């Protein structure tokens, strides 16, 4: 599902940086909570809505900058395609891998039923 999008096209000089009008209303907070897999109380929905709007408004400061033709920089040290030899190494034993599991059965992690729930 796409987010309800409220984009206001900047008529100013930096056309490529869509100037986004933040309006994190309650349905949107609930939707972000769902995408983030975090259950929210009604009180949190209202507090987070206010806080997220203020923070996003601050982020919008970047739209003042002209970044036409600037190459995005995802990493500080630009290593590319670091490959390792395909040789088997030491790995965790099933016992070690399961040691922190909230619930397990034999060599399996246990979770509630995946099919048939409300979501």
Partner 1 sequence: MSNLTELTAIELAARIAAGDASAEQATRAYLDAIDAREPVVGAYNEVWADMAIEQAKAIDARRAAGQDIGPLGGVPVAVKDNMCTTYGRTTCSSKMLANFRAPYQATAVDKLQAAGAVVLGKTNLDEFAMGSSTENSSTKPTRNPWDTDRVPGGSSGGSAAAVAARMCAAALGSDTGGSIRQPAAFCGVVGFKPTYGRVSRYGLVAYGSSLDQIGPLARDVADAALLTGVISGHDGRDSTSVPRDVPDMLAHLDTPPANLRIGLPREFYSDALDAETNRAIRAAAEAYERAGAEIVEVSLPHSRIDIDEAGKLSSYAAACYYIVAMAEASSNLARYDSAHYGHRTAKQCDGIVEMYSRSRAEGFGEEVKRRIMLGTYTLSAGYYDAYYNKALKVRRLIKNDFDAAFERCDVLLCPASATTAFKFGEKTDDPLTMYLADIYTVSVNLAGLPGLSIPAGLSEAGLPIGMQLIGPVFSEPKLFAAGRMYEKASATSRLTPPMVKQA
E strands, 30-69, are: none
- Residue 21 and residue 6 in contact, taking contact as beta carbons nearer than 8 Å: yes
Q: Does 30 bind partner 1 (CB under 8 A)?
A: no
94, HSE (Cβ side, Cα atoms, 13 Å) = 6
Q: Does 12 bind partner 1 (CB under 8 A)?
A: no
Interactions with partner 1, residue window 40-99 (CB under 8 A):
40, 44, 48, 51-52, 54-56, 58-65, 67, 70-77, 79, 82, 84, 92, 96-97, 99
* Count of residues touching partner 1 (by CB under 8 A): 63
Q: Does 25 bind partner 1 (CB under 8 A)?
A: no
Going 11 to 51 to 5 to 74, the CA torsion angle's sign is positive
Residue from 13, 42, 43, 100 touching partner 1 (CB under 8 A): that is: 100
């Amino acid at each position: 599902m796409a987010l309800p999008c409220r984009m206001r096209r900047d008529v100013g000089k930096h056309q490529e940086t869509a100037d986004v009008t933040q309006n994190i209303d309650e349905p949107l907070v609930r939707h972000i909570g769902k995408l983030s897999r975090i259950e929210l109380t009604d009180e949190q929905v209202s507090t987070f809505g206010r806080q997220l709007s203020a923070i996003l408004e601050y982020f919008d400061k970047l739209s003042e900058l002209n970044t036409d033709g600037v190459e995005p920089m995802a990493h500080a040290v630009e290593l590319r395609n670091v490959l390792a030899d395909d040789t088997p190494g030491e790995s965790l034993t099933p016992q070690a891998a399961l040691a922190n599991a909230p619930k397990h059965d034999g060599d399996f992690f246990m979770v509630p039923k995946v099919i048939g729930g409300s979501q």
